[in-house]
Structure 1
Amino acid sequence: MTSVDEELSNKVFSNPYLMENILSHVTDEIVRNFEMRLTSKAFNNGCLAVVRAKFRVLSIVFEEKSNGYRGLTNEFVHLIVYEVEISKISPCFLFLKNILRLKVEELEVKEIWKLEKTLRKQFHDSIHSDLIGDNHKSIRKLTGLEEACFGCSKCLKFIEHVQEYGPLRFRSLKVIKKPISIRRLIVNDLLLEQIANVCVKDSSTKEECYRKLNSMINVPIQCDTLIFWISESRKLSRLDENETHQYMPREVFELILG
């Protein structure tokens, strides 16, 4: 390398904006070979910056894979497109929060219901403590996480400041007392089914059932867009191999729309 080339190289590496712009084109390679960031302090800062930008909008998807040995399966989580073993997810979250200094802005959790109950709770708690921590105010979108806890106070506090939230669980619906305004709220078929079941169980006449239904859905929530996640065919448990047809309670659906 000539002195001119070396001087030019030093100028590039000493300019954080130019460095980040160059590294943004090889983000996937940086994630897969993260030790390369230790080349220099400037290079490290540049790598952290571009990876941080990529992970601000984070999709977390659970998946089971057969390992080909006696039918056993391994459990993985996909962070965007990067595969992480479920047993290593907590250290991964801590790295994102503490080393990468990541503040997630949009968090989408999918297929978390497939996890075994105890592991599902651990995964849910790890997202709150190890990934989000004290940075909950940076979240603008949170979807799918209530499918792990069925509506806890930690999850529900996000509905006060995010732009998109859901699917809302029955437990959350019952505890909302203060007025809430949100851009996009997600409601799924399970909530409609739970509302219908409670109304029928606690009522002896059709009129009483409708009064109960009216009072139950009359919660102080305003949203610009109400999104329905509805399927009349679904697996009733993580162990089911086939989907079961479930009739949607149309009375609840129509009353919410009305």
Structure 2
Amino acid sequence: MKIEYVCERKEREKTSKDFIYINYRKVKTQDVLGYFIFLNTAVGAKIEKITTRRLWMLKNKFMIRLHDLIHSQLIGSNGTHIQSLIGLEEICNGCEKCFNIAKKCLEYGPLRFSTLQTMTYSKNYKKLHVTDKLFEDIAEYCISKSKNKEECFQELDNTIFPVISCDTLSIWINETRVFPDGMEGLEYDHRHMPREVIDVILRKWSVKSIQLNMIYFTNEGMCSVDWLQYDYFTRVRLNDPYFKTQKSPDLKFTNVDVEMSDSIYCVRDLGVRYPKYKSPRGYANFIPNIRRLFPTDKISMDLSHWCCIANDDIEKKMSTILYVVSMEQPQNLSVDIKFFVESAIVKKLNEETKKEELFGIAPKYNFRKHCLQCYKKSLPFEVKLGPDAFNSEKWIGRRFQVEDTFNQFNFNLDVYIKEKDLEDELDKEMLQKYPNSFVGHFYN
């Protein structure tokens, strides 16, 4: 079950909207209790997975009530059926009810520091979610308990318990954090993280794979900065110049999966090397930094299907993405990217003839006869009134591949266009005129 508050893209303050979305359908706040009771009694639903999203943006009174209703009506006092609980600690910052349920789940998070401190029991999780803010909190806690670097690292070793393990560690990274007032760097950005904290967690929890969840903003927008006053921890960011990031000598992960459905800056910089109106945030360094922090031979990415959608010059976009992916001339690496684009990206206006032409495929790519499709849900940006339900749209995809057998590098770019746009936009005469066009592969 997914329970979420949907906001406009730039909205950050708590709101008095009188509705939320449950399983992608609008439910009035006064009807939530009745809806939950209906699920329990009439339907007899046994809720195994609950994901909440941005409920912290609701007004406090309803936010707290909703938190308690989720526990009492959906989870139950014993949490008998619940296997996955994601996002609820964003409301309570780690209450007793939540960390008691954390013991029962196979997937949980994102963890607050208070919950982490209760994890003295032995358990293997399929997936644990953590945030960049948690790494800061751990670093500052260890500094507060020590007098020097050696004592600090000993405290770190004592704080992260090895009795916990997880198959996948999901790291939520906020793209728009700020420093406290009066400090430099007030512009929104992804901030430095204490590397030694990350490395200790990865080792002690026996993490097998990584998920990076790039998020435009969360409720942890303010940085903790005390740890930056000490030289105990190495500072790392995924958008720093990659040559500054040291390689991990003894870590190796089966794969790194990057989720960008809620990203703006990272997904923008991957597809637009030099944005027209704003300077790039450095995410061209993203993939080399991933391999330095989380060594792997396999990286997969889902770019956003609703925000910062590419809408012009498919050849240039494909070339830019290839530049980013192959920046470090990678060896022994497989990269898969799902790239969602608007239909306008496939054609251009010839300034001399004033006629439309179709773009071809960018250099170095080869078309692979993979017919792909998926369904994506989304809402329009302006959701003040709130439509009754999310739109579910079918996307059609084609695979374009770059292969370097010498370096054992393989890159699959799966480009998706909405099915309805393919049906409406192009006429057969133009497709026949440009038989080697990019979009022509969607009609074969």
For 2:164 and 2:110, locate their aligned partners in 1 and report how far apart those are by CA, in whole Å. 14
Q: Does 1:187 align with 2:130?
A: yes
Contact in 2 for aligned 1:196/1:252 (Cα 8 Å): yes
Q: Spell out the pairing of 1:105-120 with structure 2 (5 A cutoff).
A: 105-120=48-63
Superposed CA deviations along residues 49-93 of structure 1, whole A, max 9, x for unmatched, are xxxxxxxxx11111357xxxxxx8524211111111233322222
Deviation at 1:194, TM superposition (A): 1.1
SS in 2 for 1:175: coil
For 2:62 and 2:114, locate their aligned partners in 1 and report how far apart those are by CA, in whole Å. 21
Give 1:247's aligned amino acid.
H
Partner in structure 2 of residue 222 of structure 1:
165
Task: Choose 121-130 or 160-169, whichever is displaced more.
Answer: 160-169
For 1:253 and 1:190, locate their aligned partners in 2 and report how far apart those are by CA, in whole Å. 12
Q: Does 1:131 align with 2:69?
A: no
Contact in 1 for aligned 2:79/2:104 (Cα 8 Å): no
For 1:163 and 1:101, locate their aligned partners in 2 and report how far apart those are by CA, in whole Å. 22
Superposed CA deviations along residues 185-221 of structure 1, whole A, max 9, x for unmatched, are 1111121121112122232211111111111112521
Partner in structure 1 of residue 193 of structure 2:
248
Match of 2:22 among 74, 79, 85: 79
Give 1:252's aligned amino acid.
V
Contact in 2 for aligned 1:76/1:85 (Cα 8 Å): yes
Partner in structure 2 of residue 209 of structure 1:
152
SS in 2 for 1:142: strand
SS in 1 for 2:117: helix
Q: Does 1:92 align with 2:35?
A: yes
Partner in structure 1 of residue 352 of structure 2:
none
Task: Choose 188-197 or 159-168, whichever is displaced more.
Answer: 159-168
245 and 222 in structure 1: CA distance in 2 versus 1, 3 angstrom threshold: closer
Partner in structure 2 of residue 12 of structure 1:
none
Contact in 2 for aligned 1:188/1:229 (Cα 8 Å): yes
SS in 2 for 1:131: helix
How many residue pairs match? The answer is 191
Deviation at 1:118, TM superposition (A): 3.8
TM-score (norm 2): 0.39
- Report the RMSD for the aligned CA atoms in angstroms: 2.6
Deviation at 1:183, TM superposition (A): 1.4
TM-score (norm 1): 0.65
Give 1:209's aligned amino acid.
C
User: Which structure carries more helix by proportion?
Assistant: 1
Q: Does 1:169 align with 2:112?
A: yes
Q: Which runs of 5+ in 1 are unaligned?
A: 1-57, 66-71, 237-241
Deviation at 1:109, TM superposition (A): 0.7
Partner in structure 2 of residue 52 of structure 1:
none
User: Which structure carries more strand by proportion?
Assistant: 2
Structure 1 vs Structure 2: percent identity of aligned residues? 37
Task: Choose 217-226 or 112-121, whichever is displaced more.
Answer: 112-121
Contact in 1 for aligned 2:16/2:58 (Cα 8 Å): no
SS in 2 for 1:136: coil
Superposed CA deviations along residues 125-160 of structure 1, whole A, max 9, x for unmatched, are 110112332572212211111221222232223333
Q: Which runs of 5+ in 2 are unaligned?
A: 9-14, 180-186, 204-444
Contact in 2 for aligned 1:176/1:219 (Cα 8 Å): no
Partner in structure 2 of residue 4 of structure 1:
none
Contact in 2 for aligned 1:62/1:78 (Cα 8 Å): yes
